[in-house]
Amino acid sequence: MDFSDLDTSLKVTLQNVTLYSNWLYNNRIEIQQASNRSNYITSRIGFVESNKGAIISFLKKTGLVTSTLEVSPLALLVAKEELTYQEICLIHLSKESLFIQGIPKVNLITLLSSFIRENEEDSYDLNKIRNLNLTFQEIDGNKNSNGRTDYILTLLEGTNLFIRQGRAEDGIIALNEKAKPIIDYFAERPIANCDYTLNSANRFDYFCSLEDGVFRIISNELPKEWLELFPHLTLDNIQKIKNTLIPAHMNTSNKSSQIIYYGAPGTGKSYCIKELTKGAEADKRVFRTTFHPDSDYSTFVGCYKPSMESKERLYDKNELISKLSVIKNTGVTYPCHKFAAKYWESLKQLTRDAKKDILSACEFPETMVVEIDKGIVIGEELSHSVDQKQIVYQFVPQAFTNAYVKAYQTTEPVYLVIEEINRGNCAQIFGDLFQLLDRDDAGYSKYPIIADTDLGNHIRERLQSVHIEGIDEVILEGQELVLPSNLYILASMNTSDQSLFPIDSAFKRRWDWKYIPIEDADKGYTIKVNGHEYDWWTFLEAINKEVFELTNSEDKQMGYFFVKRPDGVIDAETLVNKVYFYLWNDVFKDYDLEGQKAFKNEENKAIAFKDFFIGGLNEKLAEQVILNLGLTYTDHPEL
């Protein structure tokens, strides 16, 4: 698409947001690669010199480009007709806040809806609302800005909820006949104050704050008029919008510290986490654990356990410094002597200068190297008279502690990955660590907690040689626990699981949530049964529709990778024993079998799962399930 003549055919107006989105989307690669994106955009669009600033300002204000002038995913949604102009206007309005009667950040759409509901009239003069101190001057801070008034009216009119009457400066609007139920819906569900203003320079950032505005109140109880005017702003579709906008919004400086990836089985939740952390995996900055009903604080954080200690364990110089420091702090007599006798094998590998470095680091005189050498001799002699291995009790750290320590040892991102987070009792597993999940703007825990003695000693030992400017020594010494800003906690949650331990709302609030939708992965998987081949994705679309109609929920639906096959072929054995067994056991057996159409035979009679195995695996019956869903085979190989 060539919009080189946009200076005459297209104005800088909200009404033309769709055309701009199309142009941006079709030129996104060139814009990304341009050395000066602002010049590229303005020169290609063709605006005269005086209007160049206006177009850039407009694109940022509408959220079609980011603050760095990259084409935003919002433009992609509009270009693909997955979000309409009137829906964008509604999102804008529902996120607007202002000062009113000295109270900051009152939500605009909530206030307007409440006023209109209480004052049913043929038209509304916004001057009357000024009696509530809702003035365009207050919104904008400019007492003489009719342009701002026009912008607000354009948003109101753009939603199709209102009809502008007269001139912009008159400020008069009428209610669309379809709007009354929607206005009532907004009035009954006040939107909490949003921390945004109409002067926001980068609207894409604010569009990505998807827990604010209209996103907060979308439910299953939307009036039919809503579905007509805002077809994409529904509970079923809102996650798709979120998933499109959030990834590009995240970067290393502002990405969420804690995210739960959730969705139906087989959608690729773990894969998303793996892709996000693959760069850190090679550097051993990823720590994984899986929650289950027996998980507790000790399996997540660590505890004292009996273990076999080998005299062959070798420590490097930094570790030996930590070991000597711990022994010194216990106040024992002859600390250097006893230290050398215990760690003689490791010390024997070091040069004399390295031993002196260890002594200096622990504030011992270098002349004590003689005591170190004596201790090495004693330790070696003792080792010949006892077993090389012995049972000792020591603190054994688990995933959380290992990730916590690593994060303080590096400035690079460190990831703690929790698989199947809803299969464990999160309150029991996290314990008082729960308080650490509240992060400040810099990414650190807002509220430190006191570490128990065993955990604190382990952290102090591991961080003995770590010094970070601005970090309180009580943290590095293990007395207090504070999550550092470079520690990210990523979790997966399978919504189909019948969780033994529901996650409480207080815990949920401390996480950001990312829905992984069921989508065609375009891998070309096929089902091969009874001599016929069927497209796997077509089957999933059909069976998932059946599951939704039966359960009125997406939780039990299947994702593309519910079954994984290197060759892309799902045979009858896998189809029945994995796919059908899941569907039967977790979905269909709990509902009226006569009311469903999948699990029926040729006579349209409901079947039981055991029927698939009468006389061996019955591939004909297995295929009948597919045929009941209205599918046709894609290939007919020779039998």
Pairing of strands 512-515, 286-290: unpaired
Q: Judge whether residue 103 has pLDDT over 50.
A: no
pLDDT in the model for residue 398: 94
Which residues, 6 or more positions from 125, have their beta carbon under 8 angstroms from its beta carbon?
A: 170, 171, 172
Q: Are 365 and 359 in contact (CB under 8 A)?
A: yes
The least confident of 176-190, 381-395, 409-423 is: 381-395
pLDDT for res 6: 44
Confidence of residue 282 (pLDDT cuts 50, 70, 90): confident
Is the CB of residue 398 less than 8 Å from the CB of residue 300?
yes
SS3 403: helix
User: Can you list the alpha helix ranges (DSSP code H) found in 70-211?
Assistant: 73-79, 85-95, 108-118, 126-129, 136-140, 146-158, 180-188, 203-207
Lowest mean pLDDT among 16-25, 454-463, 559-568: 16-25
Q: What token pair was written down for 614?
A: 């009468």
Mean pLDDT value across residues 591-607: 83
Residue 585 is predicted with a pLDDT of: 87
For the segment 362-371, the average pLDDT, to the nearest whole number, is 90
pLDDT at 9 over 50: no
Query: Which range has the top average pLDDT, 65-69, 280-284, 314-318?
Result: 314-318
Confidence of residue 576 (pLDDT cuts 50, 70, 90): very high
Instruction: List CB contacts of 429: < 8 A, sequence separation 6 or more.
Output: 291, 295, 296, 297, 299, 300
Report the predicted TM-score, pTM, of the whole model to 2 decimal places.
Answer: 0.52
**Mean pLDDT, rounded, for 548-576:** 88
Winning range, highest mean pLDDT, from 23-37, 162-176, 281-295 = 281-295
- Whether pLDDT at 324 is above 70: yes
Residue 253: its pLDDT value, please?
Answer: 36
pLDDT given at position 193: 53
Q: What is the mean pLDDT of the chain?
A: 79
Q: Where are the beta strands (DSSP E) in 560-638?
A: 569-571
pLDDT at residue 18 is higher than 60? yes
